[in-house]
């Protein structure tokens, strides 16, 4: 006797059949390595000769001044770049969403192009721009602001600023796309009603645009903060953490701990677990804040 399957069950089975390969791939490629890293964070020694060390790796973090410096650099990076990226992306999205603006497609493409440029290419561009005989120094010397070329990447403060500029340059277009999508979902009739009531453009922005883009803003903040905490490419390709360790964020320090010099996978995994908890906590807080109903 042939068993008849209802349409709903058939749809459920089809859905699971489609999702199962992706779920297996995610578990194998993400959760299994994560679980192994968690176990390794309680071990010490080299690969193949790891021994259980309890919470030694975690207590060591409290005594590691280099890790503290790397974390401080990361926090500075997040505090400076994230608000700048979100603010500029929102402003650019509002300007490019104006129906009266011509050639919007060209402007949007030009702003988004940096997000598609590889970090290696970006490093080459900014190294050339800020070299001692580069474009920026040529302009400053030509204007009489400097007498000789300044070694921007050779001084801690200026090197950090350049890394932040690179992050803003690359992420601006990426975040702008999200805000453009959010703006296009807002009914234009709301703005027309506000104009009839005498609302200025600034009032419309703060009273209509910002509140209605709240879910998009929360998403953008979560993405930007998580990306900034895990920043690695800029440091490696532009300054390699120098001068000294002045531009080495925590992700770069974790990589060096695990693979540079004498490898210490257990301690690197412990640092990674701490960063995972920090990122997860920040994400949950932002999601809770963004989910509040006014």
Domain at 77, CATH number? 1.10.3720.10
Most confident stretch, 52-56, 79-83, 215-219, 240-244:
79-83
The answer as to whether 208 is a domain residue is yes
Q: How many domains is the chain built from? A: 1
The whole-number pLDDT of residue 108 equals 87
Using pLDDT thresholds of 50, 70 and 90, give the confidence band for residue 48: low
**pLDDT tens-digit series, residues 247-284:** 999 999 999 998 887 788 899 999 999 999 988 888 88
Phi, psi at residue 51, to the nearest 5°? -125, 150
CA 23 remoteness from chain centre:
25
Question: Which run of H or of E encompasses 44?
Answer: strand 43-44
Task: Kindly tell me if the per-residue pLDDT of 2 is higher than 60.
Answer: no
Say how far apart CA 203 and CA 157 lie, in whole Å: 38
Confidence tier at 67 by pLDDT (50, 70, 90) = very high
- Flag whether 236 is in a domain: yes
The pTM (predicted TM-score) of the whole model is 0.85
What gap in Å lies between CA 83 and CA 73, rounded to an integer? 16
Q: Which domain holds residue 120?
A: 56-290
Question: In whole angstroms, what is the distance from residue 52 CA to residue 32 CA?
Answer: 19
Cis geometry, peptide bond prior to residue 63 (ω within 30 degrees of 0): no
- Could you tell me if residue 180 is inside a domain? yes
Residue 79 has pLDDT above 70, yes or no: yes
Q: How far apart are CA 285 and CA 291, in angstroms?
A: 10
């Amino acid at each position: 006797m042939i068993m008849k399957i209802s349409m709903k069950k058939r749809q459920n089975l089809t859905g699971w059949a489609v999702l199962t390969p992706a779920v297996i791939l995610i578990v194998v490629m993400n959760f299994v390595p994560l679980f192994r890293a968690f176990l390794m964070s309680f071990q010490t020694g080299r690969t193949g000769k790891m021994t259980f060390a309890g919470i030694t790796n975690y207590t060591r973090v409290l005594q590691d001044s280099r890790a503290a410096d790397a974390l401080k650099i990361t926090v500075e990076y997040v505090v400076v770049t994230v608000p700048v990226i979100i603010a500029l992306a929102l402003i650019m999205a509002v300007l490019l969403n104006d129906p009266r603006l011509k050639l919007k497609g060209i402007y949007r493409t030009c702003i988004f192009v940096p997000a598609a440029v590889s970090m290696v290419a970006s490093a080459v561009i900014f190294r050339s721009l800020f070299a001692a005989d580069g474009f920026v120094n040529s302009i400053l010397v030509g204007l009489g602001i400097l007498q000789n070329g300044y070694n921007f990447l050779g001084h801690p403060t200026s090197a950090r600023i350049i890394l932040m500029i690179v992050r803003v340059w690359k992420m601006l277009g990426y975040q702008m796309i999200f805000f453009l999508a959010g703006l296009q979902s807002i009914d234009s009739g709301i703005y027309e009603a506000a104009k009839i009531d005498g609302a200025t453009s600034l009032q419309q922005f703060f009273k209509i645009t910002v509140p209605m883009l709240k879910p998009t803003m929360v998403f953008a903040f979560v993405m930007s903060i998580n990306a900034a905490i895990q920043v690695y490419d800029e440091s490696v390709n532009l300054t390699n953490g120098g001068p000294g360790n002045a531009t080495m964020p925590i992700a770069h320090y974790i990589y060096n701990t695990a693979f540079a010099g004498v490898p210490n996978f257990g301690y690197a995994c412990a640092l990674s677990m701490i960063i995972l908890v920090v990122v997860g906590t920040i994400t949950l807080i932002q999601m809770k804040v963004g989910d509040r109903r006014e």
